[in-house]
Amino acid sequence: MACPYCSCTFYPGIGLLHSLYRNREADGEYFGLPLSIGGAKQKGLNRVEVGKHQPITMSNLKEGYEYDSVFLLGAHRSGVDEENWLPYHPAGSQNRANLGDDVLISLLQTGNTEIAITASLQDGQGGTSPIGLGDELDVVYDATTRFEGVTNPTWVDLLIEAQDAIREGNTLAALPVLRSAVDNCLIRQAFIHQIWVGEDHQGARDWIENLESHEPNRITIANHALEETTGTKLAESEYSDLWEEFDQIVVERDAIIHSETASNLSRPTEAESVDFFNTAVGVMVAVYDLFEFP
Q: What's the pLDDT at 25?
A: 56
262-268's contacts with Cβ under 8 Å and 24+ in sequence apart are 262/172, 265/172, 267/171, 267/172, 268/171, 268/172, 268/174, 268/175
In a domain, 5, yes or no: no
Given a cut of 60, whether residue 127 has pLDDT beyond it is: no
Sort residue 285 into left (φ over 0), alpha (ψ -120 to 50) or beta: alpha
Q: What's the pLDDT at 138?
A: 92
Residues 175 and 264 in one domain: yes
Question: How far is residue 204's CA from residue 228's CA, in Å, rounded to a whole number?
Answer: 14
What are 8-59's pLDDT values in tens digits? 666 778 888 888 888 765 567 888 888 887 788 888 888 888 888 878 766 5
Residues 177 and 222 in one domain: yes
Task: Give the end of a domain, one of 105, 126, 147.
Answer: 147
Q: What's the pLDDT at 12?
A: 78
Residues 25 and 101 in one domain: no
Q: Which residues fall within 8 angstroms of residue 73, CB to CB, at 6 or more apart?
A: 43, 140, 141, 142
In a domain, 190, yes or no: yes
pLDDT band at 181 (very low <50, low <70, confident <90, very high): very high
In a domain, 224, yes or no: yes
Helix (H) or strand (E) holding 176, with range, is helix 171-196
Residues 244 and 158 in one domain: yes
Percent of the chain predicted with pLDDT > 70: 86
Q: What's the pLDDT at 69?
A: 82
Given a cut of 70, whether residue 213 has pLDDT beyond it is: no
Residues 186 and 216 in one domain: yes
Question: How far is residue 166's CA from residue 36's CA, in Å, rounded to a whole number?
Answer: 17
Given a cut of 60, whether residue 124 has pLDDT beyond it is: no
Residues 16 and 127 in one domain: no
Q: What is the mean pLDDT of residues 176-195?
A: 90
Q: What is the mean pLDDT of residues 120-137?
A: 74
Q: What's the pLDDT at 159?
A: 94
In a domain, 3, yes or no: no
Question: How far is residue 216's CA from residue 284's CA, in Å, rounded to a whole number?
Answer: 16
In a domain, 229, yes or no: yes
In a domain, 58, yes or no: yes
Residues 138 and 54 in one domain: yes
pLDDT band at 1 (very low <50, low <70, confident <90, very high): low
Residues 202 and 73 in one domain: no
Given a cut of 90, whether residue 285 has pLDDT beyond it is: yes
Burial label, 81 (beta-carbon count in 10 A; 0-12, 13-18, 19+): exposed
In a domain, 7, yes or no: no
Residues 91 and 209 in one domain: no
Residues 264 and 134 in one domain: no
If one counts the domains in the chain, the total is: 2
Beta strands 96-99 and 40-49, pairing class: unpaired
Residues 186 and 53 in one domain: no
In a domain, 53, yes or no: yes
Question: How far is residue 219's CA from residue 179's CA, in Å, rounded to a whole number?
Answer: 12
Task: Give the end of a domain, one of 113, 147, 181.
Answer: 147
Helix (H) or strand (E) holding 141, with range, is strand 136-147
Domain span at residue 199?
A: 12-37+151-290
Task: Give the end of a domain, one of 97, 132, 147.
Answer: 147
Residues 201 and 268 in one domain: yes
Of residues 212, 193, 160, 226, the one with CA closest to residue 293: 193
Percent of the chain predicted with pLDDT > 90: 16
Of residues 77, 48, 28, 49, the one with CA closest to residue 245: 28
Q: What's the pLDDT at 263?
A: 56
Q: What's the pLDDT at 126?
A: 46
Helix (H) or strand (E) holding 41, with range, is strand 40-49
114/59: higher pLDDT: 114
> Which pTM does this prediction carry?
0.80
